[in-house]
């Protein structure tokens, strides 16, 4: 049997503050009906002042370790990979601080920036390290505080995004074990980077003369173009990973896609000829949590009793970059903490 990364622990964390559509309707020219119809979102969580991405990541990481039956102590993992668009600061990466706060010792720790596809990219990196024998156990976290980068004057983005963190523990195993990560597909297209971006704050803006536009510090997205690109690239990516692992669409027990928009997920299911009830959706309660959305969705699906050991699970995501990716795994007997 081939050495393979196996999912052994799962944890999710949402900040306590619940922001409803009704609350946002008081700030913007919008309504609960308008938001729900276009996005499927009814509420989302936003971190209170002073709560950072690293804070959420630590809690999710701790829960994933607990789910795997592991104590947060030196040597328990060989690596920490944190997917985020909203690091605690531009430099250094947030992952080393998260590892230190979890008392994991001097392990390798680094961030991955692939926006909403970040968690799938992080899974791919962690899985490769395990398959190659460079690591026996890796903590993979997706964490975001998008509320800190939303333009308070932009109704479109402010109603979509939420904060949260989710994490998994991958451990070395064999490809016939429940939980085995059997295949990954990744892609990107930088020619369309402007569809999803934060224009300011980086070296390109700082290398120009003149005062920066204050609005450039905020997240921007061209929604209609993103919708079409997301469905197209996720469909192609899922087909690629299914071909790689030898699964047919009707063998998928659960499709867990990045929770960008309920209409995107339903459209993707239709294009894959997959019954809608096999496409898990929890965006109505959490909003779009970017790199955190897939592990949070996995935790919710598991808690709802929708995943049983041996189930064939397909993950897929699309995000800024543009980036996209998919992964196929069989479900273990893991219970989220």
Q: What is the mean pLDDT of the chain?
A: 96
**d(C-alpha 301, C-alpha 295), whole Å:** 10
Of 133, 73, 131, 60, whose CA–CA distance to 106 is shortest? 73
| pLDDT confidence bin for 206, thresholds 50/70/90 | confident
Q: Is 261 a catalytic residue?
A: no
From 21, 261, 282, 288, the catalytic residue: 288
What does the radius of gyration of the chain's CA atoms come to, in whole angstroms? Answer: 19
pLDDT tops 90 at residue 204: no
Write down the pLDDT at residue 210: 75
Q: Answer yes or no: is pLDDT of 103 > 80.
A: yes
pLDDT at 205: 85
258, 261, 282, 302: the active-site residue:
258
pLDDT at 2: 86
Provide the pLDDT confidence category of residue 334 given band limits of 50, 70 and 90: confident
7 within 8 A of 334, measured Cβ to Cβ: yes
Q: What pLDDT score was predicted for residue 212?
A: 77
Average pLDDT over residues 63-68: 98
pLDDT at 333 over 90: no
> Of the residues 116, 185, 233, 302, which is catalytic?
116
**62 included as an active-site residue:** no
């Amino acid at each position: 049997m081939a050495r393979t990364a196996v999912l052994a622990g799962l944890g999710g964390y949402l900040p306590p503050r619940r922001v409803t559509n009704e609350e946002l309707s008081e700030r913007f020219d919008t309504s609960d009906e308008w938001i729900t119809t276009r996005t499927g979102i009814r509420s989302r969580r936003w971190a209170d002042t002073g709560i950072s991405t690293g804070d959420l990541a630590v809690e999710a990481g701790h829960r994933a370790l607990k789910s795997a039956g592991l104590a947060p102590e030196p040597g328990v993992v060989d690596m920490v990979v944190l997917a985020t668009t909203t690091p605690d600061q531009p430099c250094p990466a947030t992952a080393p601080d998260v590892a230190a706060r979890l008392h994991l010792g001097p392990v390798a720790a680094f961030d991955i920036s692939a926006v909403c596809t970040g968690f799938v990219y992080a899974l791919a990196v962690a899985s490769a390290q395990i398959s190659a024998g460079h690591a026996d156990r890796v903590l993979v976290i997706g964490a975001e505080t998008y509320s800190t980068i939303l333009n308070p004057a932009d109704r479109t983005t402010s109603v979509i995004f939420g904060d949260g963190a989710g994490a998994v523990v991958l451990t070395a195993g064999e490809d016939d074990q429940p939980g085995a990560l059997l295949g990954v597909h990744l892609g990107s297209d930088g020619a369309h980077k402007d569809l999803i971006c934060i224009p300011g704050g980086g070296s390109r803006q700082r290398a120009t003369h003149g005062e920066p536009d204050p609005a450039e510090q905020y997240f921007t997205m061209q929604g209609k173009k993103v919708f079409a690109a997301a469905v197209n690239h996720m469909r192609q990516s899922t087909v690629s990973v299914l071909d790689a692992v030898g699964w047919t669409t009707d063998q998928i027990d659960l499709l867990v896609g990045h929770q960008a928009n309920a209409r995107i997920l339903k459209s993707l299911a239709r294009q894959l000829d997959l019954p809608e009830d096999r496409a898990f959706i929890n965006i109505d309660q959490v909003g779009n949590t970017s790199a955190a959305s897939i592990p949070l969705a996995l935790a919710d699906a598991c808690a709802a009793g929708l995943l049983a050991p041996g189930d064939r699970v397909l993950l897929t995501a699309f995000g800024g970059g543009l980036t996209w990716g998919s992964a196929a795994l069989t479900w273990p007997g893991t219970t989220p903490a």
